[in-house]
Structure 1
Amino acid sequence: MFVLYKAYEVQRSLLNAGSAMAAMTVDMLNDPRNPFAGTAGTQALASALDVFAHASAPRGKPAFGLRTVHVDGQSYAVTESTEIHRPFGDLKKFTHEGLPEDAPRLLIVAPMSGHYATLLRGTVERMLDRNVVYITDWADAKLVPEAEGRFDLDDYIDYLIGFLEYIGPGAHVMAVCQPSVPAFAATAVMARRGHPCRPATLTMMGGPIDTRESPTAVNDHAITKHYVWFKHNVISEVPANYPGAGRRVYPGFVQLASFMSMNLGSHMMSHYALFKHMVQGDGESAEATKRFYDEYRSVCDMTAEFYLQTVYVVFQNHLLPKGELVHRGHAVDLSAITDTAILCVEGERDDISGIGQTRAAIKLTPGVPDEMKKYHLAPEVGHYGIFNGSRWRNAIAPVVDEWIARHDRRGQGAKLSVVA
């Protein structure tokens, strides 16, 4: 499996060259000086080559690119800053002048599952209306030198605790998909310690808290193969041309291939639709599709230890809901959570985290009063629609807004230094 990454790098170099040549040919075909430009045949060929050029183009880490936010008819400039820089992930902050000084502080925990935190750009933008928003900006493991050491589930939990300590008491947490498990665990760890920076609310959206509920194809894939199979078949070594050379990782391109193969027909139809939009001159629709795939195809690597531990802990052995998860030698006791309000959000058509997997958190927190627990099922919403798109903005985000407002602890305490 260690040769896979090198083979991918060779293929990537060839595709990059092919993409550049295709893009040059498109320019030539569409050049006004070309006597055949604008004809049906030339337009179709140029559109086909453009689709290929876009699909095979190299992609790096996207920028959030949030410049302005519109609140109650007013436009405000967005300020983006990196508050904490750590080897495996930064803490970013977004704010604007329209927010009051005592605006709620929200930590959005982005997935470490092959995509960058920018996949949640729409989530950040919407929650920025009423909150100072922080987000975990996880690093691409192939860019982290081996000298920085390991990064596993324990480290992930420690990072979250450290970020919450920086933000200070009374902060709110929103975990999107995969990080629902470590965010839930971090909340329990902080509750057991009586930590003053434990979150006021914890919103978990489409998270695999208990994957025994309504298993999906993703869950089935994880349990039909032994842990050792994953170790020997999907883990590779970073090649010498990256700063993280020698580090064992779960490559982002493998994750992307897995996700695309699950809905291959839909992706093929999307690209065919892109081709038709371009032939018809519908630039707006074509650009919307391109923007989606620019983000979707931008992938990063995960450390092998984090990926394998997630497979073992979350999908194969369900250690958190069974009360068997251990963090730094101590059991993660979910019953220790007593004053963090829990909101669970699921999508009716989620094919990654099935209905009931996130809702399980309601039953797993007996110490939290019923009035501080809420479940919301979003009708006709798939996995990505939970945190992006019109249904997220207009139907789901208002539920989160109301929950944060109801349980906000404004003006509590001063900022602590990072200790985790």
Structure 2
Amino acid sequence: MLYALYEAGYYGSTPLRLTARATRDFWSSSLNPARDTPVGRRLFASADLFANLTRRYGRPDWNIHEVMIDGEPVRVRKTEVWRTPWVRLIHFTRNMADMRKAGRTSLEPPVLIVAPLSGHYATLLRGTVEAFLQDHEVFVTDWSNARDVPMLEGRFDFHDYIDHIRDALRFLGPRPHVVAVCQPGPPVLAAAALMAEDDEPSRPGTMTFMGSPIDARLSPTVTNKLAEERPFAWFASNMIYTVPAPYPGMGRRVYPGFVQLFSFMSMNIERHQQAHLRYLEDLMKGDGDSAEKHLEFYDEYLSVLDLTEEFYLQTVKTVFQDYLLPKGELTHRGRLVRPEKIGDIGLLTVEGENDDISGIGQTQAAHALCSGLPEALKEDYVQPHVGHYGVFNGRRFREEIYPRVRGFIRRFEAKVDKRAAANAAE
């Protein structure tokens, strides 16, 4: 019912939204002699803010067309290389002629960046992708909006997620590197453990976990405490709604993206209110640069997707209530997941000092679980002065975190090359 009411509210506000757009266009027109007056700027700013707050935010564009590599511009093309109804595997292909100009003539290690399926689109990792493109062939999981997947395609749950990660790694070939950002940590670790136990050629070379709830019992945050305090039945009764018409997935039971967005925004409501007030003031002052930065952030932040009922509820119970992976009780398709069987996959964990989503220690827990790994293949890093978003985006990520991830992968690749050379000599 809530989903239908939400849609009715959007369509019901259409006349007001159209009026606001017309007002905004009128007071920003170069033909209006009063547009630069205090009254004109105030009317324009108010109309623009209302139009932006009430409009529909769709899937954002990646807008990655070029990256700088060793001082040379390299063109980038986005290509879909594999898909299911639930995910598209995107390859960001770098132009080879430009790569040669930058002095890069050999193949570089492939990296699979597993985007979170927790309410936002994969484009939230735009900055992450741009950083990795400097040194790697980059592939990203671009998850589907559940409301756009017809009921005929069936279910998608926590274990289907694990299977999708395994299939994506197999598609990339021998020993690709995998980076899990936030939510994917537990299923990616489970996929790696299963592939390691089976000695699959496509098991990861290294796995990097960034701000991931591997063990959500440690340093619990507001989000973790909510999951503990509420019984499982509460989530099933209060967080799940039916997709209405005219969406392709109408009738599907989902955890709507707008519910997730409201939950996140309510945690920092004053900060968001102040941000919009500053935006209003910037427009009235004519500060277009500051206003544009605000729009860039909220165009991404307010773009949300729905999760299937089964995936959301299983994640709540498996990761945030029963803690099955760290307790050694997680099973997948009848098999016990045993991270201790991982023996030759490099492990790097990255956490943010001020992370209010995944507290310090939750990601580091992967080291204890992967007890079969030699210490030489393990590294941990806590980035000072950053919160959850700063672990995978922003200046400190580009300048301090990414170089550590790059160095970790390079050291693993160097060991592989050394072993290959030794075997060839024999």
TM range (shorter): over 0.9
2:175 aligned with 1:177: no
Q: CA deviation at 1:30?
A: 2.7
Give the alignment of 1:375-386 within 5 angstroms: 375-386=380-391
Match of residue 111 from structure 1: 116
Q: Which residue of 2 aligns with 1:337?
A: 342
Mapped partners of 2:352, 2:12: distance in 1:
40
Question: How many angstroms apart in 1 are the aligned matches of 2:401 and 2:12?
Answer: 43
Secondary structure at the counterpart of residue 11 of structure 2:
helix
1:228 matched residue in structure 2? 233
Number of the residue aligned with 2:72: 74
Give 3-state SS (helix, strand or coil) of 2:347's partner. Answer: strand
Which residue of structure 2 aligns with residue 62 of structure 1?
A: 60
**1:147 maps to 2:121:** no
Kindly provide the CA deviation profile for residues 168-224 of structure 1, in whole angstroms up to 9, marking residues without a partner as x.
012000000000111111000101111111100000000000111100001011111
| Higher relative contact order, chain-length normalized (CA < 8 Å, sep 6+) | 1
Equivalence for 1:40: 38
Which residue among 330, 333, 338 is the counterpart of 1:325? 330
The answer to which of 30-39 and 81-90 deviates more is 30-39
Secondary structure at 1:277's aligned position in 2?
helix
Q: Normalising by structure 2, what TM-score?
A: 0.94
Report the residue type matching 1:154 in the other structure: H
CA distance in 1, matches of 2:16, 2:408: 50
Q: Cα distance, 1:95 vs. partner?
A: 2.3
Give the residue type in structure 1 aligned to 2:16.
Answer: G
Query: Shift of residue 16 of structure 1?
Result: 4.3
CA distance in 2: counterparts of 1:23 and 1:65, whole angstroms: 25
Distance (whole Å) between structure 2 residues aligned to residue 166 and residue 410 of structure 1: 22
Q: Of the candidates 285, 288, 291, which is equivalent to residue 280 of structure 1?
A: 285
Cα distance in structure 2, aligned partners of 1:405 and 1:269: 43
Cα contact 2:23–2:43 (8 A) shared by 1: no
Q: Distance in 1 between matches of 2:48 and 2:360?
A: 39
Higher mean C-alpha deviation, range 3-12 or range 28-37: 28-37
For the pair 1:192 / 2:197, whether they are aligned, the reply is yes
Q: Measured at CA, do residues 402 and 12 of structure 1 come closer, stay the same or move farther in structure 2, by a change above 3 Å?
A: same
What is the rounded CA distance, in whole Å, between the counterparts of 2:237 and 2:11 in structure 1? 26
Inter-partner Cα distance in structure 1 for 2:326 and 2:231: 21
- In structure 1, what is the Cα distance between the partners aligned to 2:165 and 2:353? 29
> For residues 181 and 320 of structure 1, what CA distance do their matches in structure 2 show?
7
Alpha carbons 2:149, 2:248 under 8 Å: kept: yes
CA gap 1:327/1:284 in 2 versus in 1, 3 angstroms: same
Of the candidates 270, 290, 295, which is equivalent to residue 290 of structure 1? Answer: 295
| Residue pair 2:343, 2:373 contacting (<8 A) in 1 also | yes
Assess if the C-alpha contact under 8 Å between 1:104 and 1:410 holds in 2: no
Contact 1:123 1:387 in 2 (8 A): yes
Comparing 272-281 with 352-361, greater Cα deviation is found at 272-281
Most deviating of 154-163 and 89-98: 89-98
Comparing 251-260 with 52-61, greater Cα deviation is found at 52-61
2:137 corresponds to 1:135: no
Which of 167, 173, 176 is residue 168 of structure 1 equivalent to? 173
Once the two structures are superposed, residues 211-263 of structure 1 have per-residue CA deviations (whole angstroms, 9 ceiling, x without a partner) of 11100001011111111111111101111211111111100110011111111
Contact 2:211 2:358 in 1 (8 A): yes
Aligned amino acid, residue 109 of structure 2: P
SS of the equivalent of 1:121 reads helix
| Equivalent residue, structure 2, for 1:159 | 164
Corresponding position: 1:255 with 2:263: no
**2: distance between equivalents of 1:152 and 1:63?**
26
Q: 1:285-325 CA deviation, whole Å, 9 max, x = no partner? A: 11011011001111110000000000000000110000000
Contact 1:170-1:412 within 8 A present in 2 as well:
no
**Paired residue type of 1:42:** G
Could you list the runs of 5+ residues in structure 2 that have no partner in the other structure? 421-426
Matching residue's letter, 1:316: Q
Does the CA contact (< 8 Å) of 2:244 and 2:251 recur in 1? yes
**1:351 corresponding residue in structure 2:** 356
Letter in 2 for 1:361: A
2:310 corresponds in structure 1 to 305
RMSD of aligned alpha carbons: 1.5
Unaligned runs of 5+ in 1: 414-420
| CA distance in structure 2 between the partners assigned to 1:49 and 1:125 by the alignment | 34
Give % identity.
Answer: 47
Moved more, 219-228 or 94-103: 94-103
The one-letter code of the counterpart of 1:47 is A
Shift of 1:101: 3.8
**Counterpart-to-counterpart distance in 2, 1:250 and 1:234:** 6
Q: Contact 1:346–1:377 at 8 Å: present in 2 too?
A: yes
Moved more, 350-359 or 47-56: 47-56
CA distance in 1, matches of 2:400, 2:17: 40
CA distance in 1, matches of 2:260, 2:21: 27
Is residue 207 of structure 1 aligned with residue 173 of structure 2? no
Q: State the TM-score, normalizing by the size of structure 1.
A: 0.95
1:418 aligns with none
Look up the equivalent residue of 2:4 and give its one-letter code: K
Structure 1 residue 412, shift from structure 2 partner? 11
Give, in angstroms, the shift of residue 410 of structure 1: 6.5
In the TM superposition, what is the alpha-carbon distance from 1:32 to its structure 2 partner? 4.0
